[in-house]
Amino acid sequence: MAHASDGRSMEFKLPDLGEGLTEAEIVRWLVEVGDVVAVDQPVVEVETAKAMVEVPCPYGGVVTARFGEEGTELPVGAPLVTVAVGEGEAAAGGPARERGAGDGAAPTPAAEPKPEGSGNVLVGYGTSEAPARRRRVRPDRPTATGASGRANGRVRAAEPVGGVVGTAEPMDGPVPVISPLVRRLARQHDLDLRELTGSGPDGLILRADVEYALRAAAAQGGRTADREAGTGGAPAGTAAPVASPSDGTRVPLKGVRGAVADKLSRSRREIPDATCWVDADATELMRARTAMNASGGPKISLVALLARICTAALARFPELNSTVDTEAREIVRLDGVHFGFAAQTDRGLVVPVVRDAHARDAESLTAEFARLTEAARAGRLTPGELTGGTFTLNNYGVFGVDGSTPIINHPEAAMLGVGRIVPKPWVHEGELAVRQVVQLSLTFDHRVCDGGTAGGFLRYVADCVEQPAVLLRTL
């Protein structure tokens, strides 16, 4: 145990994450019990529903305890670490020394020192001027185990983690379990964890896996008892009963998937949405983009052109760039357009936001879309880059589908869906021709406007797609 007689023990709790986030999952501990940490040094890497970030500790000293194993979800306000803060060499970054058996009880400090802390901490933001670093965990990282971690695939000696002591189990190979609760549940029911296949990441055995195995064993035991008693059960030679739907694999709704589920459910509960759609001839838009990219300047993306069209349409139909204040029973029309776009990543669907899209040209929009897309795929998006949108574009055409009825990204008022652009027969200038056709769909909050406004918005977008020169009148 590190010497901390010069000061007192400070408990650092999981800080307020902001943006409506109330919990985070411990991905990786960056310090061990007994380590000396400096003020604002990251001590743990956590994953929220918004982003993966490192949490800096506002105290300098010696880590005396860690709370929670890797893979554990903690609510805001739950203890993370305790730090022995003092004016001695430990707090100053010197080597920690072990307490001897003859040290006796902790001495009473002569004066109550004021801990060196840097104030409140927000996830993703440092407590000093420099923001905390963000790191993406490699997909091939070993299964997390907290303080009772694994060495060479085996459980090593346990040590306290927030008051919970894990126990080592004799085994011939690695058992991918990190939760002491899962181990205890298996021991209580004499269940061999080595016989289970985990449904978690990298085969991690979850509590749901243990409970499923116990239910299956109980059901099998019941059928065996029925056969021995000669009552109930299936007669010999008949097919086994079909498994109940409750016997299927359970996937926890947490992280990004859980946040998406909550937001979509809230959107369906609160927003009376309606959808209208139209087919548009995108041949001229595609030609215009080709001509722009042939000029030798920076390449312009199709999504950027569509975003530029949408911001022009929102200037004409501001009702769709708004939100509803349900408590005040007011529609709040927003001044700027913060443009969200749906992006599919390995962690799930996220919606990065381009700030002040109405003030950007196609080149600036292209660059910002590219930056945010790369950050989304690498898991480096900050909570600020994932919130605050006022209108969203959903380009589901990249999945090879023509149409959809998008669910509005609460609390926004509308979302434009764009299908794939494909050659189709089309009547052009009175003659049948093969043209590049796209289906556009608009889902809107019927509280902020009626169908006439929504139809006018969608028709203007379609006109700009068919005749890009129409957009010049609004520039």
Of all residues in the chain, the percent with pLDDT exceeding 70 is 70
**pLDDT at residue 89, as a whole number:** 43
User: Where is pLDDT greater, at 190 or 19?
Assistant: 190
Q: How confident is the model at residue 88 (pLDDT cuts 50, 70, 90)?
A: very low
pLDDT in tens, 390-423: 999 999 998 999 998 889 999 999 999 999 999 9
User: Where is pLDDT greater, at 54 or 455?
Assistant: 455
Whether the pLDDT of residue 9 is over 70: the answer is yes
| Structure-block tokens of residue 63 | 């880590």
* Residue 247 amino acid letter: D
- Which of 156-165, 423-432, 440-449 is predicted with the least confidence, judged by mean pLDDT? 156-165
The per-residue pLDDT of the chain, averaged, comes to: 77
Q: Are 351 and 389 in contact (CB under 8 A)?
A: yes
**pLDDT at residue 102, as a whole number:** 40
Q: How confident is the model at residue 282 (pLDDT cuts 50, 70, 90)?
A: very high
**pLDDT at residue 218, as a whole number:** 79
Q: How confident is the model at residue 291 (pLDDT cuts 50, 70, 90)?
A: very high
- Which of 82-86, 227-231, 304-308 is predicted with the least confidence, judged by mean pLDDT? 227-231
- Which of 36-45, 121-130, 246-255, 337-346 is predicted with the least confidence, judged by mean pLDDT? 121-130
Q: Are 177 and 204 in contact (CB under 8 A)?
A: yes
Q: How confident is the model at residue 96 (pLDDT cuts 50, 70, 90)?
A: very low
**pLDDT at residue 200, as a whole number:** 72
Whether the pLDDT of residue 346 is over 90: the answer is no
Whether the pLDDT of residue 294 is over 50: the answer is yes
13 φ/ψ angles, rounded to the nearest 5 degrees: -105, 155
Helix axis angle, 451-466 relative to 302-316, nearest 10°? 140
- Could you tell me which CATH number the domain at 166-228 has? 4.10.320.10
Q: Could you tell me the residue ranges of all domains in the chain?
A: 1-100+107-137, 166-228, 255-472
Q: Helix, strand, coil % (nearest 5) of the chain?
A: 30, 25, 45
Residues 445-464 have a mean pLDDT of: 96
pLDDT in tens, 107-162: 444 444 444 455 545 443 444 443 434 434 444 444 333 333 333 333 333 333 33
Residues 176-190 have a mean pLDDT of: 74
Helix axis angle, 283-293 relative to 451-466, nearest 10°? 50
- Over the range 337-360, which residues count as b (16 or more CB within 10 Å of their CB) and which as e? bbbbbbbebebeebbbbbeebbeb
- Which of 176-190, 277-291, 343-357 is predicted with the least confidence, judged by mean pLDDT? 176-190
- No. of H helices and E strands in the chain? 8, 21
| Structure-block tokens of residue 16 | 């307020």
Cis before 411? omega within 30: yes
Ranges 171-175, 231-235, 400-404, most confident: 400-404
Catalytic residue among 16, 346, 446, 463: 446
Q: Model pTM?
A: 0.56
CA atoms within 13 A on the CB side of 255: 18
Q: How confident is the model at residue 172 (pLDDT cuts 50, 70, 90)?
A: very low
Residues 194-213 have a mean pLDDT of: 78
Whether the pLDDT of residue 325 is over 90: the answer is yes
Is 450 an active-site residue?
yes
Q: How confident is the model at residue 225 (pLDDT cuts 50, 70, 90)?
A: low
Whether the pLDDT of residue 236 is over 60: the answer is no
Residues 159-169 have a mean pLDDT of: 36
Fold of the 1-100+107-137 domain: OB fold (Dihydrolipoamide Acetyltransferase, E2P) (2.40.50)
Whether the pLDDT of residue 280 is over 80: the answer is yes
Give the whole-angstrom CA distance, residue 93 versus residue 289.
58
| Structure-block tokens of residue 32 | 């061990």
**pLDDT at residue 323, as a whole number:** 96
**pLDDT at residue 135, as a whole number:** 39
Fold of the 255-472 domain: Chloramphenicol Acetyltransferase (3.30.559)
Is 446 an active-site residue?
yes
Whether the pLDDT of residue 223 is over 70: the answer is no
Give the whole-angstrom CA distance, residue 27 versus residue 139.
12
- Coil/strand/helix, residue 286: helix
User: Where is pLDDT greater, at 291 or 173?
Assistant: 291
Catalytic residue among 190, 361, 450, 463: 450
Q: How confident is the model at residue 263 (pLDDT cuts 50, 70, 90)?
A: confident
| Structure-block tokens of residue 469 | 């020169």
Whether the pLDDT of residue 93 is over 50: the answer is no
| Structure-block tokens of residue 69 | 């194993």
Element (H, E) at 354: strand 353-354
